[in-house]
Each structure stands twice: as structure tokens, then as C-alpha cells.
């Protein structure tokens, strides 16, 4: 059985086990739940997530430094960066536009007032645009690494890589060291991913036990509208872009990305999934390290297509719940704001709710409306993280193809669908 099949098995068995425990209505003081479910199983799941996150900072720094050094030597880093940022923002704009359009057709918030009460929600203060731009540049790179400030790490790694490419013999020695270290880190990823079936089982068991079916029932129209748009983005938009830009078979892409999809869904963190995505993009899709090491970490930070979809649907839902009619200009500002706030948003669980408050404020909607949807956000967070990861791989593959850095033989190698 391949590793992907083992992860999928762990996910299904874990979810079903959690649903059985929820059906048994185990009280919080039950010893089985305290020591086994909330203790051992939850602990193993969290250790798996932390183990993946442990690799994110060193992997981004080392791989991106290697990639920037290679690109700096050829002078193509500016062109590559422009393509990556442009394509990420383009797909985000498509995502939020589609979310708004479909929501206005379905009207998910029209009947919500009959089953929901207006909540009291205290949102966190989102960062301003000026603060976001300033925070891209690190004043202390070591502190940025310690705090996991991904955009700052990316900027420092790119500058270091460019400097190394221009430092002749000294630069060559350091680049050789970084390339060896990058290979060791990839081996470490393989070791940790081998434990993924057990970590995923534990995470899904906890989800099955705690998922709020009553909330999903009350918010069914909102919930399934988000799911519909997420599905369209992943199964229609991304395959079309792969077909027209990369000129490759999108079905092969979706099949080879199954492992990152499963890890993303289980952890609800594109940051924790990044090592798995990077390995898959390089080893199974044939994307050159120069492109993969730049596009994937950047996408983990600024590609929030799934989050933008949630923000678009939530905006329409909350406006309809409160009986507020938004103008065309207001919807255009929602598209612009949702696209731009994706830059600098951390790839961690729940960040979409924080960024939603900025979108609602821009549209003149009450931030308290977030409390209406927060009950089902955990499950939707897992789904939109999967879409975010799908977008990361799509952009990396598309850019590699446009730069002549995609190994079509590796991409089309069906043997890599079953071997791990």
C-alpha cells in the first residue's frame, strides 16, 4: 500500500472513529475521553503538526537561498517573482469574484434570520496596509526565523542568495553547503511524512468527535455555498490554468498532489503542509528546484484563494442576514481588499477569520457578523487550506513550464503515482 493510500485510510478510519465516539455521547469527564481521545490521540496529532512546522523555517530559508542564488546568477529572479506574485493575485481575484457572484445567485443569508440570532463577536484588529508593507522587511532576520515571519524570511533568503551568486569562490563554497543541507532536509521530510498516517488518524478522530453538526445544519446554505465555490476553484479554475499556461494534463496534477491535499486537509495549515508540497512539486511534478523553492514558500504566504472564497461568501451572507444592500462599488472593493489582504496573511489555522474582519470593515458591514459563521469555520478551514495548497502547486508548475524548468518526463511518469 502506498503512503498516500495509508494516509487516506488513516483519515477515513479516524473520522469514522470520532463520529462513533460522538454518537456514544461521551461526557467530557469520561476517563476514556480524557486520557485516550483528548490526551493520547490529540497529543500525537499535535506532535505531527509541530514536527511538520519544525521544518518550515529551515526549509524555506535553505531552499529559497539555493534557488535565489541560481536565479541571481542568470538574472531571472525579477521575472520569476513578477510571474509568481501576478499569478497568485490573479487566482485570488478570480476566487473572490466567483464567490461573490455565486453567493448573489444562491442568497445564503436570506433565510438565516429564522434560525440564527445576531451574535456578539469581538474581532481582532487586522494590520493596516502600511504596516503590512513595512513588516515584509526584517530588521532582525534571526528574530524573524524564531517567530516564523515567513515574508521576512523569504526577503532575507532572496537577498542572501543574490549576494552569494555575486560572491565568486566564497559564494560557491556557501552555496555548496546550502545545497547539501537542502538535500538533508528533504530526507528529514521523508522521515516525518512516513508517520503521517498515524498523525492524520489522530487529528481526524478529534475532528469527528468535536465537529458541530447542529451548526452545520443551521448554516447549511452558507456552508455548502463555500464548498461549491472551493470545488469549482480546485477542479475547474486550476485545471484550466494548467492546461492553457503549462500545457500539461491537469488530471495527472491532481492525482500526484493527493498527498499534500490529505495533509493540508488534516492539519488545516498550509504552512505545516509546505514541506510536503515542496517535496511533491519537485520529485513528482518535475518542477526545478530554482522555481519550486521560490514559488511554493511564496504561495504559502500570499496565496489565500480558499480564504478569499470564504470571505466573499461570508460578506454576502452577513450583508443579507443584517438586511444591508451593498452597491457594485462595495463589491468591487471587497474583491480588491480580499485580494490584497492575502499578502502577509500567515498560513496557520483560523487566520481567515482575522482577515475577514478587514474585508467586512471595508464593506461597511458589522464585524460582529463573524460570530454567525465561526461555528462551522474549522471544517471549512480544512477545505480551503486544501485549495490553497492546490493553488501553490499549480502556480509552481505553471511558472516552471513558462520558464522551461518543468521536466515533462517526470510530470507524466505514472509510476510516481503509486510509489513513495
Q: Give the pLDDT confidence of 28-68 residue by residue, as tens digits.
A: 666 777 777 778 888 888 888 888 888 888 888 888 888 78
Cα 110 to chain centroid distance, Å, stands at 30
Q: What is the CATH number of the domain that holds 322?
A: 1.10.3860.10
Cα–Cα distance, 399 to 405 (Å, whole number):
8
Cα–Cα distance, 413 to 40 (Å, whole number):
40
Maximum mean pLDDT: which of 193-197, 208-212, 393-397: 393-397
Q: Give the pLDDT confidence of 367-414 residue by residue, as tens digits.
A: 777 877 877 777 888 899 999 999 999 999 999 999 888 999 999 987
pLDDT attached to residue 123: 47
- Number of domains into which the chain is organized: 1
Residue 33's φ and ψ, nearest 5 degrees, are -70, -40
Instruction: Report the range of poorest mean pLDDT among 104-118, 218-232, 268-282, 352-366.
Output: 104-118
Host domain of residue 350: 3-417
What is the phi-psi region of residue 115: left when phi exceeds 0, alpha when psi lies from -120 to 50, beta otherwise?
alpha
pLDDT attached to residue 243: 94
Amino acid at each position: 500500500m502506498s503512503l498516500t493510500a495509508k494516509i487516506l485510510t488513516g483519515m477515513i478510519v479516524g473520522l469514522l472513529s470520532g463520529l462513533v465516539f460522538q454518537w456514544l455521547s461521551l461526557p467530557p469527564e469520561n476517563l476514556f475521553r480524557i486520557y485516550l481521545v483528548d490526551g493520547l490521540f490529540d497529543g500525537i496529532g499535535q506532535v505531527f503538526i509541530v514536527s511538520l512546522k519544525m521544518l518550515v523555517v529551515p526549509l524555506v530559508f535553505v531552499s529559497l537561498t539555493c534557488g535565489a542564488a541560481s536565479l541571481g546568477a542568470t538574472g531571472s529572479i525579477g521575472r520569476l517573482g513578477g510571474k509568481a506574485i501576478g499569478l497568485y493575485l490573479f487566482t485570488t481575484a478570480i476566487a473572490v469574484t466567483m464567490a461573490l457572484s455565486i453567493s448573489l445567485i444562491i442568497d445564503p443569508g436570506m433565510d438565516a434570520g429564522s434560525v440564527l440570532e445576531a451574535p456578539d463577536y469581538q474581532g481582532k484588529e487586522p494590520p493596516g496596509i502600511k504596516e503590512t508593507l513595512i513588516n515584509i522587511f526584517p530588521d532582525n532576520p534571526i528574530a524573524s526565523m524564531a517567530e516564523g515571519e515567513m515574508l521576512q524570511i523569504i526577503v532575507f533568503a532572496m537577498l542572501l542568495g543574490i549576494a552569494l551568486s555575486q560572491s565568486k569562490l566564497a559564494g560557491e563554497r556557501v552555496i555548496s553547503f546550502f545545497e547539501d543541507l537542502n538535500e538533508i532536509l528533504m530526507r528529514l521530510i521523508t522521515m516525518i511524512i512516513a508517520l503521517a498516517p498515524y498523525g492524520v488518524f489522530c487529528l481526524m478522530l478529534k475532528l469527528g468527535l468535536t465537529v458541530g453538526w447542529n451548526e452545520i445544519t443551521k448554516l447549511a446554505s452558507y456552508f455548502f455555498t463555500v464548498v461549491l465555490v472551493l470545488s469549482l476553484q480546485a477542479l475547474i479554475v486550476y485545471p484550466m490554468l494548467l492546461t492553457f499556461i503549462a500545457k500539461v494534463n491537469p488530471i495527472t496534477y491532481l492525482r500526484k498532489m493527493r498527498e499534500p491535499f490529505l495533509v493540508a486537509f488534516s492539519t488545516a495549515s498550509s504552512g505545516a503542509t509546505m514541506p510536503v508540497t515542496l517535496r511533491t512539486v519537485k520529485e513528482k511534478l518535475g518542477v526545478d528546484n530554482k522555481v519550486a523553492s521560490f514559488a511554493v514558500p511564496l504561495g504559502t504566504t500570499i496565496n489565500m484563494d480558499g480564504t478569499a472564497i470564504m470571505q466573499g461568501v461570508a460578506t454576502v451572507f452577513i450583508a443579507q442576514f443584517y438586511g444591508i444592500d451593498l452597491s457594485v462599488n462595495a463589491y468591487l472593493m471587497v474583491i480588491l481588499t480580499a485580494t490584497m489582504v492575502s499578502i502577509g496573511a500567515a498560513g496557520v489555522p483560523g487566520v481567515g477569520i482575522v482577515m475577514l474582519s478587514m474585508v467586512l470593515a471595508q464593506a461597511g458591514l458589522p464585524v460582529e457578523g463573524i460570530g454567525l459563521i465561526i461555528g462551522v469555520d474549522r471544517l471549512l478551514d480544512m477545505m480551503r487550506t486544501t485549495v490553497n495548497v492546490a493553488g501553490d502547486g499549480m502556480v509552481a508548475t505553471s511558472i516552471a513550464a513558462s520558464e522551461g524548468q518543468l521536466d515533462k518526463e517526470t510530470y507524466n511518469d505514472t509510476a510516481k503515482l503509486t510509489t513513495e
